[in-house]
Amino acid sequence: MLQPELDKIVYFQSEEPRVYESAHPKSLLHSIVEDGKALDSLKNQHVYSSDQFDRNTILQLLRLAAKYEANPERFSAPLQGKILISAFYEPSTRTRLSFESAWHRLGGNIMSITDRSTTGIAKGESLSDVAEMFNSYGDCVVLRDSNDSSVKEMMDALRIPIINAGNGLDEHPTQALADLYTIFKWRPDLIQTKPENPIKLCIIGMPSRMRTVRSLLKLISVFPNAFETVTIVANEVEEKIFDQGQKEQLLNVGLNIEVTGGFSNAIKSADVIYINAIAWEGNTFKEYGADYKLSASSPLKAQAIVLHPLARGEELCTSLDDTSHNWYFSQARGAVFLRQALLTCLLHRTDRVLDII
Amino acid sequence: MLQPELDKIVYFQSEEPRVYESAHPKSLLHSIVEDGKALDSLKNQHVYSSDQFDRNTILQLLRLAAKYEANPERFSAPLQGKILISAFYEPSTRTRLSFESAWHRLGGNIMSITDRSTTGIAKGESLSDVAEMFNSYGDCVVLRDSNDSSVKEMMDALRIPIINAGNGLDEHPTQALADLYTIFKWRPDLIQTKPENPIKLCIIGMPSRMRTVRSLLKLISVFPNAFETVTIVANEVEEKIFDQGQKEQLLNVGLNIEVTGGFSNAIKSADVIYINAIAWEGNTFKEYGADYKLSASSPLKAQAIVLHPLARGEELCTSLDDTSHNWYFSQARGAVFLRQALLTCLLHRTDRVLDII
Amino acid sequence: MLQPELDKIVYFQSEEPRVYESAHPKSLLHSIVEDGKALDSLKNQHVYSSDQFDRNTILQLLRLAAKYEANPERFSAPLQGKILISAFYEPSTRTRLSFESAWHRLGGNIMSITDRSTTGIAKGESLSDVAEMFNSYGDCVVLRDSNDSSVKEMMDALRIPIINAGNGLDEHPTQALADLYTIFKWRPDLIQTKPENPIKLCIIGMPSRMRTVRSLLKLISVFPNAFETVTIVANEVEEKIFDQGQKEQLLNVGLNIEVTGGFSNAIKSADVIYINAIAWEGNTFKEYGADYKLSASSPLKAQAIVLHPLARGEELCTSLDDTSHNWYFSQARGAVFLRQALLTCLLHRTDRVLDII
């Protein structure tokens, strides 16, 4: 017999409406006209950097992601018979499972490597030889490594596509695509060439030290008119905040970049707040901006949304979880569909999911 | 050319009849009338404790398990397209493979976590955040953790079902269901409301320290008339053998509980002997009742059967393996089918395998 | 906007012709008449040693491998619904992924064990009990262990087939089958009973200390007329180079065995050079013949091919990779198809892929 106290805890609501659940992709889906040809450019291309994506390719990727998210059960197995090599030499359960979930939903099979110490690499095998092995065993590689150069070394020898899922301090392009996907789901009007109401984006994080921030800045450079201002909040001199030439590049595309140490003022006026405190460097991490903490009592605009690449530290209080500012859970959820879209393109299977190609 | 000595070792009999193979589920299957509605109660329910199951739900679960076991090839893919997150923060190859085998046989896909040290949890991520991640990536979670409270912490944030596959010293409900399944396969008459020949159950193990014993005692409490006596063999004072209030609960449902340190006498009269010596506590274990050892020369009744949750230690001699007392291998084998039955219910796919729903 | 330097690195040629890619299996496929019955001998047989394979079985296995390699997309899922237990107690990403890729291409599901330390074995569970567990959970086992005797201990209790994927210093039969497959793809005429132009095989490696060499020598013993000479290059006395009785066995089947420390002379006249320097022993390795190094400037015959079981050390220079001597990449690639062929036989599914059975 079920005890009353158990009754309370074992039952759950599978459809429980949570704030971030309202982040429905339908509006974005309707805002972009399908153009499968734009995705052809992703064939025979590794995914190394956010720099690789032009405006049209990005929009079509986001559209396909929205299509998957709007009807998650519709496309059962476009990658049937395909094998993913999921190589996480720098362990990351969160990112690994996001990619693997995406691949499984597309009907493919997976071989995982979750521990570098037991691989041939640890015994001195070259990444080039490992890549050659991957050519024979799989159809696509997802690689995370704490070493910046690993993905490039592999790319050189691969004849199957590889996705950079975070290479040291450098880049994490699919995270940035997921970030952008979230912003455009929230405000599909921003994809217009000249949006009427561009937004204020506030980034709490270090462009020079965080791969997620670096990759995101590259992507928003493709949509400069969507952003009235981009404010970087950091208590550092600009030489440390930016890589050499990084700020100039952002200014050159027309972004209005501001830098401030004034946390409260920055978040007060922001429409989108992107926060991250932890930069993974190899097997350890450094914390930046530990003084900057967001919570439900932070002075946010009523309509502002908060993004975070997760996992979170103390910079993002759980008191925000049940507020309408919480779009970080939607961001994590959407990343799976974004990755489904990208993988479908890399594996040349858009013909199975697009109407017009 | 095959050498004679190789000839002896490389060939095997796939159908080799072993004693425990006679544990055919057909009799049990015939003894229970299908009633799919009883399984509806498992929808939107986590599986945390043996306390959750009422008599009718248990019988229908066991019936579905027997149906799977009787025709293992018949139902190919009721969970096609579904993703299991198999999270074994406390490593256990045996239990992990049992669940994963069950899931694969149902046609689903799996993402495994076999090492807590590389997860975000090890870096300070909350279980609630991990659960939120699981909501986005999978359709069901199986969790084993050495920490009692982990499963509850996750349940709170999950919108997909989670199965407690062992939480510290607390519970292991699917093991107990598999134990009961074995007993009822052996003696289907015991499922009657008032069995004519109730059995003597002898448990060598500590109800207060072993999750498998705790969960089993809760389940047999649902069938008190099936057991003439339940004898706990332990060389301890009752305050240590039982949790506070545990014995009273068992007595209250009508079980005839006996406690003894007299091993030989207890096993002499028992019909079912459940033995386990090792209680895992975190990353290490304690041994209880190391003096109690069963072997082919133990004074067992001719028809008595022996159960053990495995892996075994010295308490269970391999000399019993080829005797008719060995139902522990059948117990392990049956656990896969029992888990198939439970997973089918939790994933709302009984319509694909039941005749009447 | 894609920067020019990125343009160079992110695009790849999926069809880039590399020397070893010309190792097409079509000629070998045409040279062997299909005879499915010969593969029936593999039913109910574990794969423990190269000694198990007779001439006809080997040829039909290689034919089926060639059939898979010639049309990799043709046979989608002969092992659908079957579960592989991939148990790598001695970690080896390369061999594990080769087997898992083979299994996935056949449409089956996989449960992996990549770390012995978290298994019941580490806690004292017997291999016999583990094997009994595998009987219940899967349809086939692939085992690598640094302990020679593990595979035999499991075989004794298994009622599903197990493949020895390397047992300590002893054997690695599927590697040897892949080696032979490569040689016969290169020169299909060698499968004739009495080839007109037998080849000179030069092995740089220790028959007594390397499982790959030991297994290969057993296999070429089945085709003695294909080899004019077999030269073992090692700087040791013969008592150390060979196991007791090993050389006599090779001579008895008619092989012309030569032993030399003269590396340069040996490779000058060789048609096939098999090189390996590292012998894994438990969790560490010993290097043999570190002075013997092959590179593009080695005095090889123009038509000579080089084989290596990989991963390589300094004994095999990457300068050979882009020469026509490089058949070691083809060897690694072909191993997947060879394993597909073997697994199809062990799982009794040849009827799904053969024309005449």
Comparing A112-116, B13-17, B288-292, C172-176, the range with the smallest average pLDDT is B13-17
Is cis: bond before B290, omega within 30 of 0?
A: no
- Reply yes or no on whether the pLDDT at A259 is more than 50: yes
Residues in a beta bridge with C294 = C316
Question: pLDDT exceeding 90 applies to what percent of chain A?
Answer: 80
How would you label A336-345 residue by residue, b for 16+ Cβ within 10 Å and e otherwise?
bbbbbbbbbb
Judged by a CB distance cut-off of 8 A, whether residue A9 touches chain B is: yes
Tens-place pLDDT, residues B155-194: 999 999 999 999 999 999 999 999 999 999 999 999 999 9
To which CATH superfamily is domain A21-172+334-349 assigned? Answer: Aspartate/ornithine carbamoyltransferase (3.40.50.1370)
Task: Grade residue B356 by pLDDT with cuts at 50, 70 and 90.
Answer: low
- Nearest residue in chain B measured CA to CA from C156: B9
Contact at CB, A9 and B120, closer than 8 angstroms: no
pLDDT at C84 over 70: yes
Q: How many CB pairs under 8 A join A and C?
A: 100
Cβ-contact B270, B241 below 8 angstroms: no
Model confidence band, residue B110 (pLDDT cutoffs 50, 70, 90):
very high
Whether the predicted pLDDT of A21 surpasses 60 = no
Q: Which residues of B touch C160 (CB under 8 A)?
A: 14
- Look at A66-75, B329-338, C130-139, C310-319 and tell me which has the smallest mean pLDDT: A66-75
Nearest to A119 among C93, C104, C107 (CB): C93
Q: How far apart are CA B88 and CA B109, in angstroms?
A: 16
Of the candidates B12, B114, B333, the beta carbon closest to that of C44 is on B12
Size of interface B-C (CB pairs under 8 A): 100
Residue A93 to residue B124, Cβ atoms within 8 A: no
pLDDT at B23: 64
Asked whether A141 and C97 are in contact (CB, 8 A), the reply is no
- The pLDDT mean for chain A works out to 92
The arithmetic mean of pLDDT across residues A99-121, rounded, is 91
Could you tell me which residues are beta bridge partners of residue A275?
A: A204
Local structure of A153: helix, strand or coil: helix
Cβ-defined contact of A124 to C313 (cutoff 8 Å): yes
User: Is C323:C51 a contact under the CB 8 Å cutoff?
Assistant: no
pLDDT tens-digit readout, C21-30: 556 899 999 9
Q: How confident is the model at residue A2 (pLDDT cuts 50, 70, 90)?
A: very low
Average pLDDT, chain B: 92
Per residue in B12-71, pLDDT tens? 877 654 545 556 899 999 999 999 999 999 998 999 999 999 999 999 999 999 999 998
Report yes or no: A157 at the C interface, CB cutoff 8 Å. no
Chain B: closest CA distance from residue C38 (Å)? 14
Quick check: C128 and B318 CB within 8 A? Answer: yes
Whole-angstrom Cα distance, residue B253 to residue A1? Answer: 11
Q: Is A14 on the interface with B (CB under 8 A)?
A: yes
The three-point CA angle A39-A43-A47 to 5° equals 90
Single pTM value for the model? 0.95
Rounded CA-CA distance C321/A129 in Å is 10
* Structure token digits, residue A164: 């950079």
Output the CATH code of domain B19-172+336-350. 3.40.50.1370
Chain C residue with CA closest to A56: the answer is C1
From-to residues of CATH 3.40.50.1370 in chain A: 21-172+334-349, 173-333
Q: What is the mean pLDDT of residues A303-318?
A: 95
CATH 2.60.40.420 fits domain C19-171+335-346: no
- Complex ipTM, two decimals? 0.94
- Dihedral sign from CA coordinates of B333, B334, B340, B343: negative
For chain B, residues classed under CATH 3.40.50.1370 are 19-172+336-350, 173-333
Chain B positions in Cβ-Cβ contact with residue A336 (cut-off 8 Å): 136-137
Torsion sign (Cα): C121, C127, C129, C132: positive
| CATH number at C173-333 | 3.40.50.1370
State the average pLDDT over residues B75-97: 93
Q: What is the structure's pLDDT at B1?
A: 41
CATH 3.40.50.1370 positions along chain C are 19-171+335-346, 173-333
User: If pLDDT is split at 50, 70 and 90, which confidence band does B2 have?
Assistant: very low
A114 close contact with B: CB closer than 8 A: yes
Q: Does B329 touch chain A (CB under 8 A)?
A: no
Given this model, what pLDDT does residue A338 score? Answer: 98
Contact B54 A16 (CB under 8 A): no
A245 in reach of chain C (CB within 8 A): no
C-alpha distance across the termini of chain A, in Å:
58
Q: Judged by CB atoms within 8 Å, which residues 199-228 of A form the interface with C?
A: 222
